[in-house]
């Protein structure tokens, strides 16, 4: 039995539409998703602000909070928690050139309004975590923004959020590119530096997504380890990725099984979850998936994670120690592969 708690977002069960083709499956109502998440063994739901309040731009602050309370009632009905709320700042015309780092003061103000409302929503849902996926915080044209200015604007925006609510935590999810060409905060190292520059570094941490680390040419387990060493890994988005191309959000472990094992291993070894952290999934079903299998990628990801967790917990550290002492890394590597292949 797993010692971890798991979270998932409603966007992880979707109709299959993408920028190249229409939907291939029926949309599923939110409450039905929550019910099935609970049945599958998830403990919490991840949210964007407009997952909770779809017409957020049209409502007053009081109306937004009232809508959030309706969603909280659904979570309570099924015994589910809210893990975090993330302002969706990449879908609105105001954020075509970024939100916090837009060259338009009006658009930057809009980004702050959405961020404040996300904090309000989080409070109504009972979570203190705001995740910032900085989707468009960067450039499409390298000369359009100074990276110094853009970084300063990002820090300024985070400081405003920290001041708006004295107990909220800000968790930055880095990605090196896509949809923008050059991100100003592309790795967990960038996140740590931004955290240190804020008015309250103790409330600014990181979220490592497996695919995002791979897109940066980095090892997800090493990115997680770096954040863990800083005491700043406050959530994760586990998935998989076939090389450095577009973001794929594949089922966890299906492309890079050894890499997935080492992600689980670093979490197990460092007692991740002891402070209430969730193991979050951010995986998408293939377009070819049928309606009746809309949750299979989530089931598969959980099954793979738990199998790798079992292997991580029986990893032979005495043998590892001997291999390290003798610098017999061929033997250590073969041991790991045999463990994953079920040969030992």
Structural domain containing residue 323: 315-344
Within this chain, do residues 223 and 327 fall inside the same structural domain, yes or no?
Answer: no
Model confidence pLDDT, tens digit, residues 26-62: 999 999 999 999 999 999 999 999 999 999 999 999 9
Model confidence pLDDT, tens digit, residues 328-343: 999 999 999 999 999 9
Per-residue pLDDT at 2: 83
Under 8 Å between Cβ of 287 and 248: no
For residue 309, give every residue at least 6 positions away whose Cβ sits within 8 Å of its Cβ, in sequence order, or none.
2, 3, 4, 264, 268
pLDDT average, residue stretch 244-263: 97
Within this chain, do residues 257 and 172 fall inside the same structural domain, yes or no?
Answer: yes
**Of 51, 107, 240, 249, which one is the catalytic site residue?**
51
Within this chain, do residues 337 and 256 fall inside the same structural domain, yes or no?
Answer: no
Only one residue has tokens 């959030």, namely: 68
Per-residue pLDDT at 54: 97
Q: What is the dihedral of CA 321, 236, 162, 183, to 10 degrees?
A: 100
Within this chain, do residues 124 and 206 fall inside the same structural domain, yes or no?
Answer: yes
CA distances to 52, 120, 187 from 66, rounded to whole Å, are 11, 10, 36
Within this chain, do residues 306 and 328 fall inside the same structural domain, yes or no?
Answer: no
Strand partners, 173: 133
CATH code: domain of residue 134? 3.20.20.150
Position 251 in a domain: yes
**Of 48, 212, 237, 297, which one is the catalytic site residue?**
48
Extended beta strands in the chain, E state: 6-8, 44-48, 81-86, 129-133, 138-139, 169-173, 182-183, 204-209, 233-238, 279-281
SS3 48: strand
Beta-strand pair 204-209/279-281: unpaired
Within this chain, do residues 127 and 207 fall inside the same structural domain, yes or no?
Answer: yes
Position 1 in a domain: no
Q: Active-site residue 237, yes or no? A: no
pLDDT average, residue stretch 308-328: 98
CA distances to 24, 120, 186, 209 from 216, rounded to whole Å, are 31, 33, 7, 11
Extended beta strands in 128-177, E state: 129-133, 138-139, 169-173
CA distances to 86, 87, 169 from 131, rounded to whole Å, are 5, 8, 8
Within this chain, do residues 263 and 320 fall inside the same structural domain, yes or no?
Answer: no
Q: What is the total count of domains within the chain?
A: 2
Rounded distance, CA 4 to CA 306, Å?
9
Question: Binning pLDDT at 50, 70 and 90, where does residue 278 land?
Answer: very high
Under 8 Å between Cβ of 85 and 121: yes
Beta-strand pair 182-183/138-139: antiparallel
Per-residue pLDDT at 318: 98
pTM above 0.75, yes or no: yes
Position 182 in a domain: yes
Would the pLDDT of 1 be above 80?
no
Q: Which two tokens stand for residue 199?
A: 């008015």
Q: Active-site residue 107, yes or no? A: no
Q: DSSP secondary structure string, 271-317?
A: TTTTTS--EEE-----TT--GGGTTHHHHHHHHHHHHHHHHHHT--H
Closest CA to 45 of 19, 84, 103, 79: 84
Per-residue pLDDT at 24: 97
Per-residue pLDDT at 26: 97
Within this chain, do residues 120 and 219 fall inside the same structural domain, yes or no?
Answer: yes
């Amino acid at each position: 039995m797993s010692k971890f708690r798991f979270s998932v977002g409603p966007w992880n069960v979707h109709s299959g539409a993408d920028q190249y083709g229409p939907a291939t499956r029926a949309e599923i109502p939110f409450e039905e998703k929550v019910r099935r998440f609970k049945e599958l063994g998830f403990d919490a739901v991840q949210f964007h602000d407009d997952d909770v309040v779809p017409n957020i731009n049209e409502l007053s602050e009081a109306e937004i909070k009232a809508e959030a309370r309706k969603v909280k009632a659904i979570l309570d009905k099924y015994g589910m928690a809210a893990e975090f709320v993330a302002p969706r700042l990449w879908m609105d015309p105001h954020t075509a050139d970024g939100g916090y780092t837009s060259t338009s003061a009006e658009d930057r103000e809009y980004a702050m309004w959405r961020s404040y409302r996300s904090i309000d929503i989080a409070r109504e849902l009972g979570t203190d975590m705001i995740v910032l996926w900085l989707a468009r915080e960067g450039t499409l044209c390298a000369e359009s923004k100074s990276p110094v200015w853009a970084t300063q604007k990002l820090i300024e925006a985070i400081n405003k959020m920290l001041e708006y609510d004295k107990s909220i935590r800000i968790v930055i999810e880095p990605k090196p590119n896509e949809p923008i060409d050059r991100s100003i905060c592309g790795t967990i190292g960038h996140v740590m530096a931004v955290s240190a520059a804020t008015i309250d570094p103790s409330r600014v941490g990181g979220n490592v997504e497996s695919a995002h680390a791979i897109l940066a040419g980095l090892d997800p387990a090493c990115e997680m380890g770096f954040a863990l060493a800083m005491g700043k890994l406050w959530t994760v988005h586990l998935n998989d990725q076939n090389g450095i191309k577009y973001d794929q959000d594949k089922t966890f472990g299906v492309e890079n099984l050894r890499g997935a094992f080492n992600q689980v291993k670093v979490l197990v070894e460092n007692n991740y979850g002891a402070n209430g952290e969730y193991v979050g999934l951010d995986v998408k079903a293939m377009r070819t998936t049928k309606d009746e299998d809309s949750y299979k990628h989530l089931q598969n990801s959980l099954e793979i994670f738990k199998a790798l967790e079992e292997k991580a917990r029986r990893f032979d550290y005495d043998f590892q120690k001997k291999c390290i002492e003798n610098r017999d890394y061929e033997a250590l590597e073969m041991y790991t592969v045999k463990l994953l292949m079920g040969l030992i």
